[in-house]
Amino acid sequence: MTAYAMGIDFGSTTAKVVILDESGEMAASAISQKGAVSDEGVRMALADALQQAGIEQSAIRKVVSTGYGRRMLDIADRSITEITCHARGAVALVPQARVVLDIGGQDSKVIAIDANGLVARYAMNDRCAAGTGKFLEVLARAVNIELERMGSVALEATETVGITSMCATFAETEVISLLAEGHSRPVVLAAVHQAIANRTVGLVGRVGKRDPMVMTGGVSHNIAAVHYLEKALATSLIVPPGAQTAGALGAALFALDDLRAEAAEPGKRIADEDDGVLAEPLECKPACEKKGLFAKLFRS
Amino acid sequence: MSAVTEKEPVVKKANRLQVTKLNNKMVNQYWEDLFHAKEQGKLVCWTEGIQINPILQAADIAWCHGEAAAALMAARKESAVPQAHMETLGYDRELCSYARTHIGCGILNQSSTVEAQTLLDVDGRTLGSKIPPPDMIISAYPFCSTGQQWDNEVYRTYGKKVPIFNMSLSWTWGNKPSAKYMSGPEYRENVAFLKKQLQDCIRFIEGITGKPYDWDRLTEIMTYTKKAAELRLEAMQLCKARPSPASFFEWTNSIAPVNFLPGGPEIVDYFAQKKAEIEARIAQGVGSVPVEKYRLWWDGIMNWNKIGWLSDKFAGYDACMVAGRYTHMGFWQEPQVIDVRDPLDGMAQNYLTCPISISAPQVIEKIIEHCEFYEIDGLILHAARTCRAFSYPQFMIADAVGKRLGLPVAMFEGDMVDETFYKDEIVNSRVEAMLEAIDASRARMR
C-alpha cells in the first residue's frame, strides 16, 4: 500500500491541503475559503484532497501543518511556520528562486533564499496587517466589488491617484472619499493595489532585492497586485501554477522528509504492504476526543 | 486505526534564580519606605530618566522614579486604570505608556472626586494611590523629548507650584571622530556639560532643603553603587557559560538595585549572592532554561507585564535569552570610570553612555561585541510601540548586526506597559520562523 505525506496550510482566510505520494508526486491539492482558521474550511479542503487522491485518510502517514492555525491540528506530527514552508514550496516550484514574496491573508513575507534553497533572511509586516490580503478584502468591500474581480477592474484605470493610509480602516475612509470625489472604481482600485505594492517594496529592501523573484500566496492570483508589484520593484515576478498552495506544498515536502527518514531508520517500516497498518500504530487517546478538530473530523 | 495523534504538551519553565526573591523583598521595602516618607518628615522628588537617586539619597530626599512606578504597576496589572483615564483626557495611546501611567496616577491622586479615588484605589491597595505627591521634580531624560514633556505635565498637574529642575543630556554621535564611545574631545565636552548640570542640580536641592549638601554621604553611596555594579557585570559575564546560568529576564528582574533602589550594603550583598548562585549553577551545569538549544539576544525595553510569561515561553522553545541591550548596556554599565571621592564625572559618563544616549553606530558596535562574547544565535527585537527612543534604531540593528554576524532576526511589536499592543500569535510566528532559520543555518554547516 502506498504511503502518503500531507501538508496543511491552515491560514487566516483559506485552508490549503497538498498530498504527496512517497515518490514525491503530487496526488492532490485543494483549497477551501470559509473564513479565518475555519473548522469547516479545513474539513472541506481535506475531504476534497482525499477525494482527488482517491485514498482513505489511513494512507496518510505523515502530516505537517503550517499557517496561523497550525497548532490547532492534532493530526499534525509537527508544525512549521509559513516562512519556512513557503520557501520550501516556492523552491520546489521554481528551483532557481532567490526571493519569495508571499502576500497572505494576514501577513506579507519576503524571504531570501540561499544557493542551497534554504531560508537566508526574511522580513514580515511587523506592525499590523497593512499590505496584506486582508487589506484588499476590506477595500473590495468598500468599493462593492468581488475580491476575484478587483484585479482585472484595477487594470482598467486610466489615471493615477494615491492612497496614503496603510491601515485598512483609514484606507477605507480614503477610498470612500475618492469615490465621493468622482474617481472611477478602476482608478480607486488601482490606487489600492499601488499602496500594497509600495508597502511590499520596503520589505523587499530589508532582505535585499535579487532575481528571480517568485510570488506565492492568495494575492498572487490578483493580476493587478502582480502588475503593480512588478512596476514598483522594476522586475518580473514568477507566479508558478500552484502559487497559492506553495505553503501547503512546503509542509507536505517536510512531511515527506519525515516519512522517508522514518523509513530509513532500521526496524521501521513506512507501511505494511499487507494490511496498511503502521509499524508504530498511531492510536487516538481518549483525551483528544474533546480537544482536537481532527479527532472529530476523522471520526465523522 | 486512527490517524489522530494525541500530543501531550511538554511544559518547560524557566529555571528562576532563588536570589530574585531577595530583589522583590528590597523593591517592596523601597516602595513602603516611599509611601511613608512624608510621615518621616522627608521631602519627595519625582524624577524620570537617568539614575540620579544617589544625589537625592545623599540629601536625605525620598524619590519616585516614574518609569519604575509605571513598570511595577504594569507587573501588578494596575496600569490599565490610569492609562484609560489619561485617554479620556486626550492623551493618545501612542504616547509613552510609562508617562501615561505615571501622570494618570498623579492626576487621579490630585482629584478629590470619589470617582477618581475609586478608579485608582481598587481595594485601597494599588501602588498608584499611595505615591506621595512631589515636593520637587527633576527631569533628566536622555534622547527622549517625551521625558521633558512628561515632567512638564507633572508640573502642571500639581498646579505649577512644585519646583522643577531640567537637565539636558547631550547626544553622542558615533560617526564623529571627536565623539567616540567614551573618548574624544566632544565626548569630554558633553561629560563636562552634564557634570556642570549635576552640580547645578545639587545647588537646586540645597536651595530646597536649606542644608549644605553632604558630599561624604554621596561618596559613601557611590562606593556601594559602584561595587554593586561591578559585581553585576562580573555575574553577567559568567553567563557566557553553556548552558547560560541566568537569562536576560533574570537581569531584567535585577534592574531595580542599579536603577532606583538606595545605594547601600543591601545592593552589594544582593549582587554578591546573585554571582554566587550563578557560579554554583555553572559548577553544577545548571542552565537558565531546561534545554539550551538556542542562545538569543533581546533588543528593546522589557514588556513589564510579561517577564515571567516570556521567560517561560522562550524556555518552551529551548531558547535562552542570554543578554539584551536594555540590561547589558545600561544601568551603571561603566562603573570603572567612577571615582567615588569625586563621583560626578564618572556618573555623568555612565548617564551619557546608556543605550538611548549614544547613536546607532555605537549601539550597533556594542551589540556586536556582546553577541560575539555571549555566542548569540539570533536576535529578538521587541519594538516598544510607545518608546520610540528605544525602538528607533531597531531596523538598523536588525540589518547591521544580522548581516555582520550572519544572525537571523525576529521583530515584533509590544510595549513596556500597555499590553494592548502585544499580540501573541504574531510573536509565535516570528520567533518560530527565526528558530527554524537557525536550524536551517546549522543544517548548512553540517
- The sheet carrying B294-299 orders its strands as B319-324, B294-299, B378-384, B409-414
pLDDT at B14 over 50: yes
Q: Which of residues 73-112 of B touch A (CB under 8 A)?
A: none
Distances in whole angstroms, Cα of residue B257 to Cα of each of A114, B54, B417: 46, 12, 20
Selected from 3.90.1170.50, 3.30.70.20, 3.30.420.40, 3.90.1150.10, the CATH number assigned to the domain covering A95-239 reads: 3.30.420.40
| Cα dihedral A219, A224, A227, A231 sign | negative
pLDDT at B257 over 60: yes
* Helical ranges in B303-358 per DSSP H: 307-316, 325-328, 344-352
Rounded to a whole number of angstroms, the distance from the CA of B439 to the nearest CA of chain A is 10
Phi, psi of A178 (to 5 degrees): -65, -40
Report the percentage of chain B scoring pLDDT > 90: 58
Render pLDDT for B348-384 as a digit per residue (tens, 0 to 9).
Answer: 999 999 988 888 889 999 999 999 999 999 999 998 8
**Among chain A residues, CA nearest to B433:** A81
pLDDT, residue B391, reads: 87
The band of B250, judged by pLDDT with boundaries at 50, 70 and 90, is very high
Maximum mean pLDDT: which of A30-39, A187-196, B6-15: A187-196
The band of B125, judged by pLDDT with boundaries at 50, 70 and 90, is low
Q: Which of A82, A118, A284 sits opposite B4 (nearest CB)?
A: A284
The band of A125, judged by pLDDT with boundaries at 50, 70 and 90, is confident
Say whether the peptide bond before residue A212 is cis (omega within 30 degrees of 0): yes
The band of A218, judged by pLDDT with boundaries at 50, 70 and 90, is confident
- Cβ neighbours of residue A233 closer than 8 Å, sequence gap 6 or more: A197, A200, A201, A204, A209, A213
Chain A residues in contact with B399 (beta carbon < 8 A): 206
pLDDT at A272 over 70: no
pLDDT at A284 over 50: no
The band of A280, judged by pLDDT with boundaries at 50, 70 and 90, is very low
CB contact under 8 Å between B4 and A295, yes or no, is yes
Render pLDDT for B379-421 as a digit per residue (tens, 0 to 9).
Answer: 999 988 888 888 888 989 998 998 899 898 888 888 888 888 8
Element (H, E) at A100: strand A99-103
Cell numbers given for A290: 474533546
Render pLDDT for A163-212 as a digit per residue (tens, 0 to 9).
Answer: 776 666 677 788 888 888 888 889 988 988 888 888 888 889 888 899 99
Say whether the peptide bond before residue B243 is cis (omega within 30 degrees of 0): yes
pLDDT, residue A299, reads: 32
- The sheet carrying A213-216 orders its strands as A119-124, A108-113, A99-103, A213-216, A237-238
Question: Locate cell 509499524: which residue?
Answer: A279
pLDDT, residue A278, reads: 31
Element (H, E) at A5: strand A4-10
Q: Are B27 and B72 in contact (CB under 8 A)?
A: yes
pLDDT, residue A130, reads: 65
Any CB–CB contact under 8 A between B413 and chain A?
yes
pLDDT at B7 over 50: no
Any CB–CB contact under 8 A between A277 and chain B?
yes
The whole-number average pLDDT for the span A104-119 is 84
Domain A4-83+246-299 is found in CATH 3.30.420.40: yes
pLDDT, residue B45, reads: 97
The band of B122, judged by pLDDT with boundaries at 50, 70 and 90, is low
- Cβ neighbours of residue B398 closer than 8 Å, sequence gap 6 or more: A206, B379, B381, B409, B411
Q: Which of A82, A83, A284 sits opposite B2 (nearest CB)?
A: A284
- Give the separation between CA B325 and CA B46, rounded to whole angstroms: 26
Q: Which of residues 352-411 of B touch A (CB under 8 A)?
A: 383, 395, 398-399, 402, 408, 411
- Give the separation between CA B71 and CA B255, rounded to whole angstroms: 11
pLDDT, residue B15, reads: 94
